[in-house]
Amino acid sequence: MRKFAVVRDDMLKYGVKAEEIKLPVRATRTSVCYDIYSPITETIPDGETKLIFSNLKAYFEDDEVLYLATSSGQGKRGLMLAQGVAVIESDYADNISNDGNLGFMLYNHSGADIVINKGDKIGHAWFAKYLVTDDDVATDAVRTGGFGSTKK
């Protein structure tokens, strides 16, 4: 199963209601990426980083990964993901701390403040299979947190 869903009502950010969240879409039949939209209007001052949660989560298979990146249009405006590309593991969905809310940590390097309007595209998401080494030894660790939790 591979799909996007709105996070639980108790995990929605910004006072937004579930029915207000725009589900990701591919812009064309051959688009690789799903467009993700901002649930709020937010100003990102030049030289600063803002985390915008999409109020969406993604379900996908254990041998798959979801990548998040900014679009070329956002790059043209001077926005990029602070970490370059975000890597989302399949066990991120439904986690106890934020229900898998996909966040875009946007860094503004444009030289001017940038306004992201509610409904604007804030980035792209795409699914891919991944491989492990032949001698991989999986741990039995279970995710207990949300955004940035595997470093803790």
Task: Please compute the mean of the pLDDT values over residues 12-24 and round it to a whole number.
Answer: 96
Domain membership of residue 62 (yes or no) is yes
Domain membership of residue 25 (yes or no) is yes
Q: Total structural domains in the chain?
A: 1
- What region does 73 belong to: left with phi over 0, alpha with psi -120 to 50, or beta? alpha
Report how far apart, in Å, the C-alpha atoms of 126 and of each of 49, 91, 93, 117 are: 23, 16, 15, 23
Domain membership of residue 143 (yes or no) is no
Residue 99, domain extent: 3-130
Domain membership of residue 56 (yes or no) is yes
- Residue of 31, 34, 150, 28 whose CA lies nearest to 97: 150
What is the per-residue pLDDT across 126-136, written as a single tens digit (0 to 9) for each? 999 999 999 99
Domain membership of residue 42 (yes or no) is yes
Task: Please compute the mean of the pLDDT values over residues 33-37 and round it to a whole number.
Answer: 97
Cα-only R_g, the chain? 16
Domain membership of residue 57 (yes or no) is yes
CA angle (58 as vertex; 78, 40 as ends), nearest 5:
45
The CATH code of the domain that includes 32 is 2.70.40.10
Lookup: tokens for 15: 């006072």
What is the per-residue pLDDT across 70-115, written as a single tens digit (0 to 9) for each? 999 999 999 999 999 999 999 999 999 999 999 999 999 999 999 9
pLDDT at 146 over 70: no
d(CA 22, CA 119): 8
- Residue of 36, 137, 51, 143 whose CA lies nearest to 90: 143
Domain membership of residue 102 (yes or no) is yes
